Structure 1
Amino acid sequence: MKTVEIRTESPSKPQLGRADWLRAAIVCFMNEGIDAVQITRLATSIGASRGSFYWHFKSRQELLDGLLNEWSAVNSQRIKEVLDEATSLDVGVLSFFAIWNDAAVFNAPLEQAVRDWARLDDKVLAAVRAEDANRVAVITQLFHRFDYDPQEAEVRARVLYFAQVGYVAMNPNEAEAERMSRLENYFLTFTGRVLSADVATSFRHDLSAFT
């Protein structure tokens, strides 16, 4: 697995730091779920002592809170950045699709792991619902910026967002070429507008770099 980049902590110095513990926790979490994220296990994986852990964190709960903060910093912030920078509806909607396939800027395994965790923990569920609401609001602003009335903008944002989240959660056995063959129809369904042929061609070419 590619090394996880931590964005909510300062880069580690030669000695182990908070970022190292958080990185180990995230990798363990993505691979085996929240119950596997235990202090002794993480200490073994990075060659440290339990005492080292308590130098950096007051408790396991503080580490888990840090994990949630990292998820938000990595994934929710990236969605906002991409949509705020969109110069057209075509670019905005397609960029929203693309980031879920780009491991360099969006951690899809972490996204799914957090959602699985939310099924077991009401506090995490509340955090996920809050993030979902924030993301829908950002997408709503995209539609509103390109001349949809407020209610239609919100409804289309909800449909687009929950369809994407559901698609990732289902993990369908669908070849990328097959999915891309439906691109123009997906776009028409989500936006009510026809996708520019030039933008569609560029998107297919760029997406191939991530798959």
Structure 2
Amino acid sequence: MMSEPLLHRDDPAKDPLVGNIKVTRQDWLNAALSVLKQGGVEAVKVAELAGQMGVSRSSFYWYFKNRTDLLNALLQHWERTNTAAMVAQANAPADTITEACCNVFRCNINTALFDNRLDFAIRDWARRSERVNAVLKAGDDARIEALTHMFLRFDYPELEAKARARVIYYMQLGYDDANLGETLNERLAMVPGYLVAYTGHTASDAEIEAFATYARDVTGHTDPA
């Protein structure tokens, strides 16, 4: 885990004011995250970010020493959101392995839990940087370890637990990248079959309905038809 970047200012009351705009460290991070997801790491440039926000470039240095400091913060954000969310969902309480898998599926439905576009951007960045690739590998390892322990909790043999963890992880990573063009209802219709494939067990109707309700709530699709 990388150490926290050193800030030039750490008192929110002393955030720089540019015109009538109060510029925060999170504003810079949000702008950089958006650019990273849209254009890759090469597009994350201080001058361009300042222009997008309509602020002085000098305000950047209240919060970051340099561009590398900002890039480190982006990596930390990815670790603290995507990786932490999947680990937490794998460890969430569940009475059955199918319920546990539904907890993990929430990462692929709720972008507030897990941002697939950010994950893709980090993986693309990792192809260009050995340092970032090492951070990515550590994140992948942590996620697979958590998924493996999820299966172990329900008495799967160790090697089988690891294999099933890899299957569910790598399939979920590539699901959105496949660009299947499914509606939410089409995707939900596949969930019972996926659960059988991942776990060897059939989920209860209550588990399927609970996940479907969650999915519709977080995506705003309220029509169950």
Please, what TM-score do these two structures have when normalized by structure 2? 0.82
Shift of 1:18: 2.5
User: How far apart, CA to CA, are the structure 2 residues paired with 1:84 and 1:19?
Assistant: 29
**4+ runs deviating over 3 angstroms:** 8-15
User: How far apart, CA to CA, are the structure 1 residues paired with 2:126 and 2:179?
Assistant: 18
> Residue 52 of structure 2: SS of its match in structure 1?
helix
- Judged with a 3 Å threshold, the aligned counterparts in structure 2 of structure 1 residues 11 and 144 are, in CA distance, closer, same or farther, namely farther
Which amino acid in structure 2 is aligned with residue 79 of structure 1?
Answer: M
- Matches for 1:116-195 after TM superposition, within 5 Å: 116-195=124-203
Which amino acid in structure 1 is aligned with residue 130 of structure 2?
Answer: D
Please, what TM-score do these two structures have when normalized by structure 1? 0.87
Shift of 1:12: 5.1
Aligned partner of 1:205 in structure 2 is 213
Structure with the bigger RCO (C-alpha within 8 Å, sep 6+) is 2
> Residue 75 of structure 1: SS of its match in structure 2?
helix
- Matches for 1:1-211 after TM superposition, within 5 Å: 13=13, 15=16, 16-88=23-95, 89-211=97-219
Shift of 1:83: 2.0
> Residue 209 of structure 1: SS of its match in structure 2?
helix
User: How far apart, CA to CA, are the structure 2 residues paired with 1:47 and 1:121?
Assistant: 31
* Kept after mapping to 1: 8 A contact 2:78/2:118: yes
User: How far apart, CA to CA, are the structure 1 residues paired with 2:86 and 2:177?
Assistant: 18
User: How far apart, CA to CA, are the structure 2 residues paired with 1:154 and 1:110?
Assistant: 25
Which amino acid in structure 1 is aligned with residue 111 of structure 2?
Answer: A
Q: Deviations over 1:97-121 (max 9, x none)?
A: 1222212322222122212222232
Unaligned stretches of 5+ in structure 2?
Answer: 17-22, 220-225
User: Relative to structure 2, which stretch is displaced further, 178-187 or 126-135?
Assistant: 178-187
* Kept after mapping to 1: 8 A contact 2:98/2:199: no
What's the Cα RMSD here?
2.1
> Residue 217 of structure 2: SS of its match in structure 1?
coil
User: How far apart, CA to CA, are the structure 2 residues paired with 1:101 and 1:185?
Assistant: 17
Amino-acid identity (%): 33
